[in-house]
């Protein structure tokens, strides 16, 4: 097997006296497309910070292409942050966002060359953002914003692309498009590591996953490691795994109660408010009666 692009050896890191990750050993090889999975607070973001060189491990070693980071960012790693961490009021165009990917290669001159701009426009074209270069970044849809920051990361020509929750906060259609785009980039040779909370999306789209919860619980293809035992150890919950039409699905074991157990007499949203101020759920508004009866109901 080829030399890993990223390797973590017995890595431990914490905040204050609280360990975030402990004794992590993992490696990612050229051409892999992998996901970091785990509940909130499991250490996923901390692992990204370690791989990006934003923090120094308290114990152990983080290697990128064989070089010990020692808390220094590597130019060989491109990063796409969570959209919710972006200041959308900052006055910047899509073109300017993408050109940020060339800052480390601009040298002493603090402005983009003609070649830089040409490469940026080619990247926008490749990612389906042609004609949007001069628009303010906040004026784009969530999926378009994600593509713009992806273009910024790719413009730096990294060996590894790291994404933090790239499908968070977008609709299902946009999520599917983003994951398909990442798969296409991976086919072109880009090595990708992403975090996600969506286990079903991971099962459908990711060839390899790391399950973490402070420790590395398991790693491998979802078909092999998405088992109730592994997922229960990762999420500290009661998970179920099943197949339907050849696809793998993951869900949480149904609760042992319904909402009526907690709220025996819920107020219906279409209840009529009587003159005395009380709602009567048995009397429905005319438009609701018509909806229930169908379009042919008499008015």
**Tens digits of per-residue pLDDT, 117-128?**
999 999 999 899
Task: Name residues whose C-beta falls within 8 Å of residue 109's C-beta, 6 or more positions apart in sequence.
Answer: none
Q: 191-196 and 33-37: which strand pairing?
A: parallel
Angle formed at CA 108 by CA 133 and CA 101, multiple of 5 degrees = 35
> Alpha carbon of 11 to those of 219, 237, 277: distances in Å?
16, 26, 63
Query: Alpha-carbon distance 94 to 173, whole Å?
Result: 22
Q: What angle do helix axes 142-155 and 172-187 make, rounded to 10 degrees? A: 20
Q: Report pLDDT digits (tens) over 142-182.
A: 889 989 999 999 998 899 999 999 988 778 888 888 899 99
SS3 sequence of the chain: CCCCCEEEEEEEEEECCEEEEEEEEEEECCCCEEEEECCCCCCHHHHHHHHHCCCCCCEEEEEECCEECCCCCCCCEEEECCHHHCCCCCCCEHHHHHHHHHHHHCCCCCCCCHHHHHHHHHHHHHCCCCCCCCCEHHHCCHHHHHHHHHHHHHHCCCCEEEEECCCCCCCHHHHHHHHHHHHHHHHCCCEEEEEECCHHHHHHHCCEEEEEECEEEEEECHHHHCCHHHHHHHHCCCEEEEEECCEEEEEECCCCCCHHHHCCCCCCCCEEECCCCCEEEEEECHHHHHHHHCCCCCC
pLDDT at position 299 is 43
pLDDT band at 293 (very low <50, low <70, confident <90, very high): very low
Strand order in the sheet with 59-64: 18-28, 6-15, 59-64, 67-68
Query: Alpha-carbon distance 40 to 58, whole Å?
Result: 22
Taking all residues of the chain, what is their mean pLDDT, rounded to a whole number? 86
Please determine, for residue 296, whether its predicted confidence score (pLDDT) is greater than 50.
no
Hey, CA dihedral for 101, 104, 109, 110, is it positive or negative? positive
Domains of the chain: 1-76+158-238 (3.40.50.300), 84-157 (no CATH), 259-293 (no CATH)
pLDDT at position 272 is 59
Q: Are the beta carbons of 202 and 222 closer than 8 angstroms?
A: yes
Could you tell me the pTM of the whole model?
0.81
Q: Report pLDDT digits (tens) over 62-92.
A: 999 999 998 888 888 999 988 778 888 888 9
pLDDT band at 267 (very low <50, low <70, confident <90, very high): confident
């Amino acid at each position: 097997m080829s030399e890993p692009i990223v390797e973590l050896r017995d890595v431990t890191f914490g905040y204050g006296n609280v360990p975030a990750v402990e004794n992590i050993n993992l490696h990612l090889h050229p051409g892999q497309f992998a996901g970091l999975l785990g509940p909130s607070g499991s250490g996923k973001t901390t692992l990204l910070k370690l791989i990006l060189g934003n923090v120094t491990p308290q114990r152990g070693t983080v290697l990128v292409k064989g070089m010990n980071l020692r808390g220094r960012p590597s130019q060989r790693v491109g990063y796409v942050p969570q959209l919710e961490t972006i200041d959308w009021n900052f006055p910047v165009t899509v073109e300017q966002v993408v050109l940020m990917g060339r800052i480390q290669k601009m040298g002493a001159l603090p402005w983009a060359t003609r070649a830089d701009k040409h490469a940026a426009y080619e990247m926008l074209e490749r990612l389906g953002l042609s004609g949007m270069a001069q628009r303010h970044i906040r004026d784009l849809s969530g999926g378009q914003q994600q593509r713009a920051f992806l273009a910024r990361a790719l413009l730096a020509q990294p060996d590894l692309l790291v994404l933090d929750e790239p499908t968070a906060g977008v609709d299902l259609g946009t999520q599917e498009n983003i994951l398909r785009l990442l798969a296409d980039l991976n086919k072109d040779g880009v090595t990708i590591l992403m975090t996600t909370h969506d286990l079903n999306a991971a099962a459908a789209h990711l060839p390899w996953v790391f399950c973490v919860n402070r420790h590395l619980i398991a790693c491998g293809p979802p078909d092999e490691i998405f088992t109730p035992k592994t997922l229960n150890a990762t999420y500290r919950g009661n998970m179920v795994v099943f197949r339907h039409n050849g696809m793998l699905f993951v869900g949480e074991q149904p609760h042992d109660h319904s909402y009526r157990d907690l709220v025996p007499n819920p107020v219906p949203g279409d209840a009529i408010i009587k003159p005395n101020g009380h709602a009567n759920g048995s009397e429905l508004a005319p438009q609701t009666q018509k909806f229930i009866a169908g379009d042919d109901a008499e008015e």
